[in-house]
Structure 1
């Protein structure tokens, strides 16, 4: 299938088609379909799972206020300093990017469409040079023009200044020519910035890569490509005064409390065919108790739980009864909950001790603890079945998914700890399902003599201050860490790279919690993403997944599902698989 003339654009189109197929559910579209300025406008009745493939309570009415709650704080609302999927989704309200995912129902929501750009990227035949042109007439909230120099600067600050912005992914740094040497705009005062991002004029931007990257259009959807005016940038404090390029601007923002977004009068539908921007206002509150969030949804006091991970286990029993079930959507999240096993924390420097954990964990008990199969399926791989490249395998089998105590004890004997050992296990304190899963893991490990003390940390700082900080992990002997991951984009590379490649290990804000830095895995990832043969790339992702699981540094637990609840006042409600199976916040509006 490979050809000397095959372009990266063709490879991307193939990947998109495969990804869309993999992410579609068994349900059929519900209601009529049409096309509007915001994408698909299919209308679905308010029935269980209706938002999986249709738009529930479709409306073209402008006005109203969308209210969102979150159980903790975001890593950052700064589009250049975030990695949380819900923030990537939410930030599209005020931060436009080169490309974005189409706000549409079902598989159409996986389609990449132009946003600031006039079209998809124009790649060279070897996928090492990518060119984009942006629309004329684009403006910030203060009326100043948006140029490609602002997009270039936004990328430079987001990927190359970890001393100020440490939370986001580092794909641009890894792939841009000279990215390994550039120190970012706060240290490098050269006004021309990184030479491998060219802006020959105010509407053209050219990326020169050190190696081929066939998935580059997906990178152009990241919030890191949102423009930032250099004159207004204040580093880590930029979050307090974000300059909007989208239909909404910040009326107020208070750290750890919330934010209020109102219409940006400089935004124009003429330069933004993607957004309908119906609501007048978006109000979001942070650090709201999970049960309170659920109760407010059921009482129709808020529009949506912004975290998008579904109702808590305590509420689940209530919402699956007929009174509430018609307002629920049980969505595959394109994500896997797993436990990282850090080989830099003893005794996990010994692979047999790691294998003991693999065999000891009772995954069915974890599934039960988080709410049963409505919250997900037992996992044996890192890649979930909804991601292009998934291959089915089980390297640490047990007859019923409940673990194998005898094999775990055999591995303990091999690693010199026949009676077990003690370690620490981390989880996010404000995520009840994750805490419940950690307790189930703790109980399973105890049966083979492994005593795991649970250490809980807030979600908003989990990666930036604790589990994602190698020095903290080593000093506090955090051998086991609960986490979950969804694809940055719906291919194997978009899922695996930031959690298993050695280059993704960072001083803080890292997601490769197990600090895996295996040369063979690193090379396999690089070789695969350089291949413009889409079929060969797809096959490689499953092979790399198996290589990772064979290191026994990750324990796949659950292919996640989110049991979401939509109150009656929520309109234009649909699931987006592009953002981990949560509701699409670009479409969402409210009758209130």
Structure 2
């Protein structure tokens, strides 16, 4: 997930569903024990309360990439969509490992799974409606699934569901569907209005984890395709009142949401307002003076605010610093010259100053630990000893970098471009790498990209990367779901390279890596699967296309008036849908 999913723990759907079956009940536990103080929200609930009312005020440094759940691939976006988008299954918004458990949402219960693990049958919960009062049927859910296949119209979101359900049909999505009802996807069946059946071609243990990433239901009559983001039809407790792109979002209560049908959400505020395109330092200022309640991105305060918070005990007690489960890294293109030569890529690996890169992210305390490989510690298969370029110390290895430059035929260095989003701490990371590369003769210019388009069409378009000559690209990633498949596959599977919304930025297409991915995804034993992902991780590092530098932490500040504040481990950030306001204002 792009600056995407969070501090998940390695596991399997079998475990997650099993826990859900045992857990039962509502996640809205008014008897939850309250906690307080610095980092209290990382492990418990700060200011537990069921008080309703008031306006939750958010600030965001960018425009939103989309509110259409089909196209959302940021952690904050997927976390936030829980307030307006109900899905068949959803991770349970609770602190700790309980937050990794999948619970029924639109579905009335966990799926019935066939003995051969190929068929998943869901029954829909009774009484759930769209914001206009129309009852949700299984056909609305199937149509929502089908929209993910329309990559020519709705690019940018996760495509795991397409991989599992297309099965050679080459289904084009509903907009080009020749079926009169636009429900022609053969692998999904709706025998009646309350039943939906998914047919897999081969067992895939992680399949239920794909469902929270989709729009749970979309009314075909109100689907406006690419423009659906302008007014998403809500199935959750809040609906969009206004959306002024680049300026402001206002959400109000959905009168057709019924709490009795929803055991997941509390829906405490009356209103949610989000101001867009704010300067990051201004967001921090308004957080500290109480004008804002929360930073929507939750990627950490800027350096000036960080110093204030850590040095002032009255401020520090309102901050959390969780391990987010993200990794910050650079991808080195395997297609843009001279990086089509592996030795030129290795030169960058050895030249990098990871201490400087860590400092750019906020240092060891607020930025994270130095990363040596692409699987973070919270994902099965991580090997803390895997360090092929000997970077654990974080110090640049100038002589080794120069040796690699000679081997790639560029003894005097070369010129290249670093692509980076124009927001947050990322420009400082790019500058730190630029300075380190200059020490070995590599002259790197920095090209700032619009944050709202960066992953979809700036570095997410291979054609654009080639045309602009982006040799190095700044990125961040967290697990889409808590397995190696959910973290690493889309980054390194050569069969997943897309013309737009591409996540395999380095364009790795190694047959051996692809084969190991298939083997890992088919493995039902989580320990064996984790071992295979460890092998994949090692082979990916051997390509020298990935330069991981920090296993991420984020120092975030919470307005003291917020209630029910906790880090939802599934996303590695505070749960938007759980928040309330102690003053009711």
Instruction: For residue 503 of structure 1, report the CA deviation from its aligned partner.
Output: 2.8
Distance in 1 (CA, whole Å) between partners of 2:434 and 2:18 is: 41
Structure 1 41/291 Cα, relative in aligned 2: closer, same or farther at 3 Å? farther
Aligned to 1:348: 339
CA contact (8 A) 1:390 1:492 kept: no
Structure 1 520/288 Cα, relative in aligned 2: closer, same or farther at 3 Å? same
Aligned to 1:424: 417
Instruction: For residue 314 of structure 1, report the CA deviation from its aligned partner.
Output: 2.7
Aligned to 2:163: 174
Aligned to 2:361: 370
CA contact (8 A) 1:341 1:481 kept: yes
Aligned to 1:463: 455
Would you say 1:412 and 2:393 are equivalent positions?
no
Aligned to 2:118: 128
Distance in 2 (CA, whole Å) between partners of 1:17 and 1:246 is: 25
Instruction: For residue 180 of structure 1, report the CA deviation from its aligned partner.
Output: 5.9
Instruction: For residue 178 of structure 1, report the CA deviation from its aligned partner.
Output: 3.0
Instruction: For residue 324 of structure 1, report the CA deviation from its aligned partner.
Output: 1.0
CA contact (8 A) 1:172 1:179 kept: no
Aligned to 1:552: 544
CA contact (8 A) 1:119 1:132 kept: yes
Distance in 1 (CA, whole Å) between partners of 2:260 and 2:36 is: 32
TM-score normalised to structure 1 length: 0.92
Instruction: For residue 133 of structure 1, report the CA deviation from its aligned partner.
Output: 1.6
Aligned to 2:512: 520
Would you say 1:229 and 2:219 are equivalent positions?
yes
3-state SS in 2 of match to 1:152: helix
Distance in 1 (CA, whole Å) between partners of 2:305 and 2:521 is: 42
Structure 1 180/319 Cα, relative in aligned 2: closer, same or farther at 3 Å? farther
Aligned to 2:144: 154
Aligned to 2:573: 582
Aligned to 1:493: 485
Distance in 2 (CA, whole Å) between partners of 1:145 and 1:398 is: 56
Would you say 1:288 and 2:278 are equivalent positions?
yes
Would you say 1:325 and 2:326 are equivalent positions?
no
Pick the aligned partner of 1:163 from 152, 160, 183.
152
Aligned to 1:397: 390
Choose 470-479 or 490-499, whichever is displaced more: 490-499
CA contact (8 A) 1:177 1:210 kept: no
Instruction: For residue 425 of structure 1, report the CA deviation from its aligned partner.
Output: 0.2
Distance in 1 (CA, whole Å) between partners of 2:108 and 2:323 is: 32
Instruction: For residue 534 of structure 1, report the CA deviation from its aligned partner.
Output: 1.9
CA contact (8 A) 2:26 2:263 kept: no
Aligned to 2:13: 12
Instruction: For residue 258 of structure 1, report the CA deviation from its aligned partner.
Output: 2.1
Aligned to 2:97: 107
Instruction: For residue 16 of structure 1, report the CA deviation from its aligned partner.
Output: 7.8
Distance in 2 (CA, whole Å) between partners of 1:179 and 1:260 is: 42
CA contact (8 A) 1:76 1:239 kept: yes
Structure 1 37/446 Cα, relative in aligned 2: closer, same or farther at 3 Å? closer
Pick the aligned partner of 1:213 from 204, 208, 214.
204
Instruction: For residue 400 of structure 1, report the CA deviation from its aligned partner.
Output: 2.3
Structure 1 502/330 Cα, relative in aligned 2: closer, same or farther at 3 Å? same
Distance in 1 (CA, whole Å) between partners of 2:493 and 2:530 is: 18
3-state SS in 1 of match to 2:482: coil
Distance in 1 (CA, whole Å) between partners of 2:525 and 2:115 is: 12
Distance in 2 (CA, whole Å) between partners of 1:193 and 1:511 is: 28
Distance in 1 (CA, whole Å) between partners of 2:208 and 2:230 is: 30
Instruction: For residue 35 of structure 1, report the CA deviation from its aligned partner.
Output: 8.1
Instruction: For residue 176 of structure 1, report the CA deviation from its aligned partner.
Output: 1.1
Q: C-alpha offsets along residues 560-590 of structure 1, whole Å, 9 cap, x if unaligned? A: 01101111111110011111x2110111122
Instruction: For residue 41 of structure 1, report the CA deviation from its aligned partner.
Output: 5.2
TM-score normalised to structure 2 length: 0.93
Aligned to 1:58: 48
Pick the aligned partner of 2:268 from 278, 298, 321.
278
Structure 1 174/338 Cα, relative in aligned 2: closer, same or farther at 3 Å? same
Structure 1 46/380 Cα, relative in aligned 2: closer, same or farther at 3 Å? same
Distance in 1 (CA, whole Å) between partners of 2:109 and 2:570 is: 19
Distance in 2 (CA, whole Å) between partners of 1:542 and 1:586 is: 35
Aligned to 1:535: 527
Aligned to 2:474: 482
Instruction: For residue 124 of structure 1, report the CA deviation from its aligned partner.
Output: 2.9
Choose 320-329 or 556-565, whichever is displaced more: 320-329
Specify every segment of 5 or more residues in structure 2 that has no aligned partner in the other structure, as ranges: 1-10
Q: C-alpha offsets along residues 60-111 of structure 1, whole Å, 9 cap, x if unaligned? A: 1111111111000121011111111101000110110111111111221111
3-state SS in 1 of match to 2:146: helix
CA contact (8 A) 1:334 1:486 kept: yes
Distance in 2 (CA, whole Å) between partners of 1:179 and 1:230 is: 25
Pick the aligned partner of 1:74 from 61, 64, 71.
64
Distance in 2 (CA, whole Å) between partners of 1:483 and 1:11 is: 26
Would you say 1:562 and 2:554 are equivalent positions?
yes
Aligned to 1:313: 303
Distance in 2 (CA, whole Å) between partners of 1:40 and 1:489 is: 28
Distance in 2 (CA, whole Å) between partners of 1:394 and 1:457 is: 31
Distance in 2 (CA, whole Å) between partners of 1:48 and 1:162 is: 43
Structure 1 360/577 Cα, relative in aligned 2: closer, same or farther at 3 Å? same
Q: C-alpha offsets along residues 428-447 of structure 1, whole Å, 9 cap, x if unaligned? A: 1112x111111111111111
Instruction: For residue 519 of structure 1, report the CA deviation from its aligned partner.
Output: 1.6
CA contact (8 A) 2:51 2:581 kept: no
Distance in 2 (CA, whole Å) between partners of 1:419 and 1:168 is: 41
Specify every segment of 5 or more residues in structure 1 that has no aligned partner in the other structure, as ranges: 1-9, 19-33
